[in-house]
């Protein structure tokens, strides 16, 4: 697990990824790992914990890092080292000069560059069919092990390029089942139906997204988050 004591400096480093609620940096001491820290700027997306009797003004802001660490730990417990096929391994929380950070494996292509999201690749002209086999393999893994996710969004799926037309899909955000009544977690047959529905719905969205040509660089430039596009690789 990651060291809890060492202070890691990130303030002078440019994040390679900007999400609605988090920034993602290459670990300064290990290029094969990344660190996610919560955004604190006024343009961040604020998400409150749901399903609470506590008034909205009094609820705690949803902590993506805490949730992700819990869900990745569950996946590790369920499938062991097999998780690295389609998920980043979690190395725990670290202290940074931007606040607590979550340390994870960084997904890189065969050439050493940071893997891009499915959204970025589709927006830059890659055919969706290029990723069909990789997505099916990813889906089979979720179904075989009954791994529950939130909606499978194109900007949360990294497509790892191994060269020679071979790709691997990895989920880098959106783990866990948000259902208030967790029947899918209690009963595998319900869980598999939910996983299959997530996969079917996701592919249908990807088809529509690809058909419209993805997202323009102008929209990415004017957004308060990176829209799933990398700042640098």
Model confidence at 154: pLDDT above 90? yes
* The length of the chain, given as a count of residues: 233
Model pTM?
A: 0.90
What is the chain's mean pLDDT, rounded?
Answer: 91
pLDDT tens-digit readout, 44-78 = 766 545 555 545 444 445 688 999 999 999 999 99
Model confidence at 87: pLDDT above 60? yes
pLDDT of residue 141: 98
pLDDT of residue 207: 97
pLDDT of residue 218: 87
Structure tokens given for 11: 């303030």
Helix (H, G, I), strand (E, B) or coil at 228: coil
**What integer is the mean pLDDT of 225-231?**
92
Domains in the chain and their CATH numbers? 8-106 (3.30.200), 113-213 (1.10.510)
| Residue in 27, 17, 21, 44 with CA at minimum distance from that of residue 228 | 17
Q: Are 7 and 95 in contact (CB under 8 A)?
A: yes
pLDDT of residue 38: 94
Task: Report strand pairing: 90-96 vs 99-105.
Answer: antiparallel
pLDDT of residue 42: 79
- C-alpha dihedral (88, 23, 101, 35), degrees to nearest 10: 40
pLDDT tens-digit readout, 14-34 = 999 999 999 999 999 999 999
Residue 140 dihedral angles phi and psi, to the nearest 5°: -60, -35
Model confidence at 1: pLDDT above 90? no
């Amino acid at each position: 697990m990651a060291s809890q004591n060492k202070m890691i400096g990130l303030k002078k480093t440019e994040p390679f990824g900007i999400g609605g609620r988090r920034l993602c940096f290459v670990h300064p001491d290990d290029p094969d790992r990344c660190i996610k820290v919560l955004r604190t700027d006024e343009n961040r997306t604020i998400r409150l914990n749901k399903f609470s009797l506590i008034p909205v003004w009094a609820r705690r802001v949803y902590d993506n890092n805490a949730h992700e660490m819990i869900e990745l730990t569950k996946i590790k417990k369920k499938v062991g080292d097999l998780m690295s096929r389609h998920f980043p391994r979690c190395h725990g929380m670290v202290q940074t000069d931007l606040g607590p950070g979550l340390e994870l494996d960084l997904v890189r292509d065969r050439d050493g560059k940071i893997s891009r999201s499915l959204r970025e690749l589709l927006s830059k002209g890659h055919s969706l069919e290029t990723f069909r086999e990789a997505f099916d393999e990813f889906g089979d893994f979720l179904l075989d092990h009954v791994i529950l996710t939130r909606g499978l969004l194109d900007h949360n799926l990294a497509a790892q390029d191994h060269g020679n037309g071979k790709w691997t899909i990895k989920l880098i955000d959106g783990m866990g089942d948000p259902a208030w009544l967790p029947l899918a977690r209690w009963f595998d047959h319900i869980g598999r139906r939910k996983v299959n529905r997530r996969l079917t719905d996701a592919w249908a969205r990807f088809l529509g997204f690809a058909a419209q040509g993805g997202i323009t660089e102008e929209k990415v430039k004017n957004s308060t988050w990176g829209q799933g596009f990398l700042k640098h690789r």
